[in-house]
Amino acid sequence: MRAMLIGAPGSGKGTLAKRLVRDFGFQHVSSGDVLRQQMADGTSVGKKAESYVNAGKLVPDEVMVELMTSALKTLETSGKCKWLLDGFPRTESQAKTLDDTFDLGLVMHLDVPDEEIIDRIQHRFVHRESGRVYHTLWNPPKVDGVDDVTGEPLIQRDDDKPEVVKDRLEKYWDLTMPITQHYAAKGVLSKFTGTESDVIYPSMKKFVDGWVIGARCTRE
Of 2, 82, 120, 168, the active-site residue reads: 168
Q: Mean pLDDT of all residues in the chain?
A: 89
Of 18, 47, 157, 206, the active-site residue reads: 157
What pLDDT, on a 0 to 100 scale, did the predictor assign at position 121? Answer: 87
Superfamily of the domain at 2-112+189-214: P-loop containing nucleotide triphosphate hydrolases (3.40.50.300)
Residues for the chain: how many in total? 220
Of 2, 13, 82, 120, the active-site residue reads: 13
What pLDDT, on a 0 to 100 scale, did the predictor assign at position 185? Answer: 96
> Where does the pLDDT of residue 219 fall: very low under 50, low under 70, confident under 90, or very high at 90 and above?
very low
Q: What are 29-53's pLDDT values in tens digits?
A: 988 888 888 899 898 888 989 998 8
Of 2, 82, 120, 124, the active-site residue reads: 124
CA distance 190 to 188: 7
- 36 classed as catalytic: no
> Where does the pLDDT of residue 217 fall: very low under 50, low under 70, confident under 90, or very high at 90 and above?
low
Q: What are 115-129's pLDDT values in tens digits?
A: 999 988 888 899 988
**Beta strands 2-7; 106-111: pairing state:** parallel
Q: What are 93-103's pLDDT values in tens digits?
A: 999 999 999 98
- 219 classed as catalytic: no
Q: How many CB atoms lie within 10 A of CB 101?
A: 12
| Domains of the chain by residue range | 2-112+189-214
28, 142, 152, 154 from 19: Cα distances, Å: 11, 28, 33, 30
Q: What is the mean pLDDT of residues 84-112?
A: 92
Q: What are 158-209's pLDDT values in tens digits?
A: 888 888 889 989 988 998 999 999 999 999 999 999 998 999 999 999 999 9
What pLDDT, on a 0 to 100 scale, did the predictor assign at position 216? Answer: 57
